[in-house]
Amino acid sequence: TFDPRNADVGLPTLLPFLLFPKQVDWIDFVIRKWRERRPGLCEKSRDMGVTWEAVALSCTLCLFHDGVAIGFGSRKAEYVDDIGNMKAILPKARMFMDHLPEEFRGGFVSWRDSPKMLVSIPDTGSQITGEGGDDVGRGDRKTIYFNDEEAHHPRQDLVAAALSQTTNCLISMSSVRGMNNLFAQKRWGGKIEVFIFDWRDDPRKDEAWYKKQCEDLDPVVVAQEIDRD
């Protein structure tokens, strides 16, 4: 994984992706939802590594299963793929694949098999694709579809309609943005299984870290971005 904040204190910016226990639980949750052919929802505090997890899991499923098709959607296309920009989703997939030992890459060659909005595994024929905007997933079919930062999309009703027949396993992932949005309605509606990623689940963070956030940030920002309120 990649964290440029480490450069401030002289630590490596490229880090082994060692999962903490709650991240392992989230992987199990997604795989169970896939096997059940059911949707799932992940409500999260910021900076929990969920997007990295989704990317790493997607690459792994594509390496080990023939004909898998996994989709990623977000409110803007540049948040899904902007080649070379690690803020976007699919550059994380390219980085994950490029750092595997060559014999584990399934024949993947980055310059050949990952044009914009696509990561393709030659040996299995499996693919990861990306889209942005209101019509993500429309007319397509996916094994799993990850809808990233769903609560922050300005037209969630259009996205829900576009994705309604795309996959049996839609994984909605987001930090919170109040109650007046479809993500919040799904999260509190009782019809979909919810996985919660709280900041206390992250072993890198403790009460001293939280106290500093409360001192440095506006209380509303702390409530929304950290406390999921």
Each residue's pLDDT tens digit, 164-213: 999 999 999 999 999 999 999 999 999 999 999 999 999 999 999 999 99
Please state, as a whole number, how many other Cβ atoms lie within 10 Å of the Cβ of residue 143: 19
Predicted confidence at residue 13, as pLDDT, reads 87
Each residue's pLDDT tens digit, 47-103: 999 999 999 999 999 999 999 999 999 999 999 999 888 889 999 999 999 999 999
114 close to 92: Cβ distance less than 8 angstroms: no
Contacts of 217 (CB under 8 A, 6+ apart): 225
CA distances to 60, 91, 120, 126 from 123, rounded to whole Å, are 13, 21, 9, 8
Predicted confidence at residue 85, as pLDDT, reads 87
Contacts of 100 (CB under 8 A, 6+ apart): none
What percent of the chain shows pLDDT beyond 90? 89
Q: What is the pTM of this model?
A: 0.93
Cα-based torsion angle of the residue sequence 6, 86, 27, 206 in order, rounded to the nearest 10 degrees: 30
Segments in 37-117 forming alpha helices (H): 50-64, 77-80, 90-98, 110-113
- Does pLDDT of 5 surpass 90? no
- Report the DSSP pairing between strands 144-148 and 194-197: unpaired
Predicted confidence at residue 24, as pLDDT, reads 97
